[in-house]
Amino acid sequence: MSHAHSRTRQRAAFEHLLARFDASTAESTPQRWRYLEAAHVLAQNRYSFLLHWRAHWKMLQFARTLKDDYEVRGQLGHLLMTPISHLVRFVPPGNTGRAVMPAMQPMVPSPQVRECIAEAMAATDPAAPATSAHPGQT
């Protein structure tokens, strides 16, 4: 698979995860966060400012809905830091983007987040093998 195809597929998987989040109003709060965390990991994996910013924007909106002031403040900080992290070209791979995680800490996403990513990748091109959801790989 070409690099361009992989990047296009990751973007499609990102959009798929946001659509799953939007359609998930009957699901548990932790599951809904997993969709957003998985989208955030994919956005960082692509080193795409716009997708990265959108992931944090969606997280901020969800935190507001939950009336989670700590998460709201954290997401506001992440939104402000996103352009800077892209300017200095340091986006910590695998970081799930939540306020409870150090913003600049690379990490390996949980098995549940990795599974969300794998499902989204499969949904965007079921005939192709899933690319690794491991941080730092595109």
- When pLDDT is averaged across residues 25-53 and rounded to a whole number, the result is 91
Residue 135 lies inside a defined structural domain of this protein: no
Q: Which band of pLDDT confidence, cut at 50, 70 and 90, is reported for residue 22?
A: very high
State pLDDT tens for residues 59-105.
999 999 999 999 999 999 999 998 888 888 888 888 999 998 887 88
Looking up tokens 């990795």, which residue turns up? 114
Structural domain boundaries, residue 30: 3-124
- Whether the per-residue pLDDT at 25 is higher than 80: the answer is yes
The sign of the dihedral angle between the CA atoms of 34, 51, 20, 24 is positive
Per the structure, how many domains does the chain have?
A: 1
Please compute, for residue 35, the number of CA atoms within 13 A of its CA located in the half-sphere on the CB side: 18
137 within some domain: no
Cβ-based neighbour number of residue 21 at 10 Å? 23
**134, part of any domain:** no
Tokens encoding 83: 């352009």
Confidence of residue 47 (pLDDT cuts 50, 70, 90): low
In a domain, 136, yes or no: no
Which residue in this structure is represented by tokens 């698979």? 1
Judge whether 129 lies within some domain: no
- 47 lies in some domain: yes
**Does residue 26 fall inside a structural domain?**
yes
